[in-house]
């Protein structure tokens, strides 16, 4: 019985620590914590979903960004969160930052939604 109680306590402790970590990190810290791989792209006007296998973004604390597409294409840009961290500017493009956490980044660009996961 003691073993079950200890396991239950450990389960709640580990899940609550993850929630506390997510709540304590700013959106900026979530962005720069790891690289982001594009998972899928949704055209909201037609509700078409496209699976994307390449496209990795790496955000740095100094506002620089490395974009890797496949094995051969690499480009550099800048990024900035603005308007109370509701929007993300990458280069000249502005995205509505719907969700930025340690587990997912969802950006909206016009009628398109782009979902990234940690890489």
pLDDT (tens digit per residue) in 10-30:
333 333 334 444 456 899 999
CATH classification number, 27-118, choose in 3.50.50.60, 2.40.128.280, 3.30.420.40, 3.20.20.10: 2.40.128.280
| Domain boundary assignment for the chain | 27-118
> What does the pLDDT look like over 94-103, one tens digit per residue?
999 999 999 9
Q: How confident is the model at residue 66 (pLDDT cuts 50, 70, 90)?
A: very high
DSSP letter for each residue of 63-115 = SEEEEEETTTEEEEEEEEEETTTTEEEETTEEEEEEEESSS-EEEEETTEEEE
Q: pTM of the predicted model, to two decimals?
A: 0.75
């Amino acid at each position: 019985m003691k073993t079950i109680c200890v396991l239950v306590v450990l389960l709640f402790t580990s899940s609550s620590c993850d929630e506390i970590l997510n709540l304590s990190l700013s959106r900026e810290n979530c962005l720069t914590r790891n690289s982001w791989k594009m998972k899928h792209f949704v055209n909201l006007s037609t509700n078409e979903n496209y699976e994307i296998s390449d496209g990795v973004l790496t955000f740095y604390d100094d506002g620089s960004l490395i974009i890797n597409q496949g094995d051969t294409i690499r480009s550099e840009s800048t990024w900035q969160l603005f308007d109370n961290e509701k929007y993300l500017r990458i280069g000249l493009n502005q995205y509505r930052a719907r969700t930025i956490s340690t587990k997912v980044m969802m950006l909206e660009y016009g009628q398109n939604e782009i979902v990234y996961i940690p890489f």
